[in-house]
Amino acid sequence: MRLVPGFLVVLAASAGCHGAPGSGGPTPTPTSTATPTATPTPIPTSSTYRVRPVPDGHAVEVHLVYAGKPRSPWPIPATFASHCGGATETPNPSLDVDAKGGVTGAVAFLDDLHEGEALPTGDVVQDQKGCAFSPHVLAMPAGAKLRVTNGDSANHAVRLDVVGGSDADSVVKMLPPGGADTLATSPAWAGDVARITCPIHSWMFAWAHFFEHPYYAVTHAGVARIEKVPPGKWHLSVWHEALDASYTPGATAVAEGPPIRARFDVTVADRDVVKTLTLREDGTIR
């Protein structure tokens, strides 16, 4: 497991759970589109994770609220407006907050759990629509397939680079309008984070987190809930990207701010645990 910046680490003790475009690397080359399949994809079994039923588990729920000022949207260069359905701007994807301040796109996960419920099956899907990746942050089993689609009327590309990895970990696909393809991920990426970019549109980027177990969740409207956690004492980590990612038309990459780091202790007794955190304007989480 490579160390990745931007982690909030929480110590949890459980007694039972219910319930920019990166530079370097390969040059994008056209690939044939693939028709997505509805057949569940078997996930390779990790040699360090043991699958067993967890009838006495509890849930760990993270609530994350942003208390700062909204971030300004990014302008889309006029030359690309036709690529993006006529859009002239796009929200800054590094901070997705609803009307109540709930943050979407933080990843909560148990980082020291090596046995429990089986991984989810099936492909994970990410679309490119309006010249933005949707969803912006993915969490998925290492070794699962990532189905990428292009919902725009112009060509897109998808480049996946494992943070801290080598060019051998990079995957590049070209997607024509309405196209779809599949990116194979590796079981060896468990614990890693990958940055996803579109080499054609320099402001487009996203993140993917890979796990060998099912004990992870991405916040939506400020809430992430991890189910069926086995009894025991675990570390709960919460990741969120830097707040001040910025883009200027004509730039060759998206500039990112410093990582967010914080640590808390949480004790899970005989019921579900809810940890409420605040993401502040200065990038701290309290």
pLDDT tens digits along 129-166: 999 999 999 999 999 999 999 999 999 999 999 998 88
Q: What is the pLDDT of residue 46?
A: 66
Q: What is the pLDDT of residue 41?
A: 53
Range in 123-127, 199-203, 269-273 the model is least confident about: 269-273
Q: What is the pLDDT of residue 232?
A: 82
Average per-residue pLDDT for the chain: 83
> How many Cα atoms are found within 13 Å in the side-chain-facing hemisphere of 184?
6
Q: What is the pLDDT of residue 29?
A: 42
Q: What is the pTM of this model?
A: 0.84
List of E strands, 4-153: 7-14, 50-51, 58-66, 74-75, 89-90, 96-97, 103-104, 107-110, 115-116, 124-128, 133-134, 137-141, 145-150
User: What mean pLDDT do residues 64-82 have?
Assistant: 90
User: What mean pLDDT do residues 23-27 have?
Assistant: 41
Q: How far apart are CA 215 and CA 160, in angstroms?
A: 23
The confidence band for 43, taking pLDDT boundaries of 50, 70 and 90, is low
DSSP state, 250? T
Comparison of pLDDT for 149 and 285, the residue scoring more: 149
User: Does residue 249 have a cis peptide bond before it, meaning omega lies within 30 degrees of 0?
Assistant: no
Closest by Cα among 204, 223, 210 to 276: 223
159, 58 contact by CB (below 8 A): no
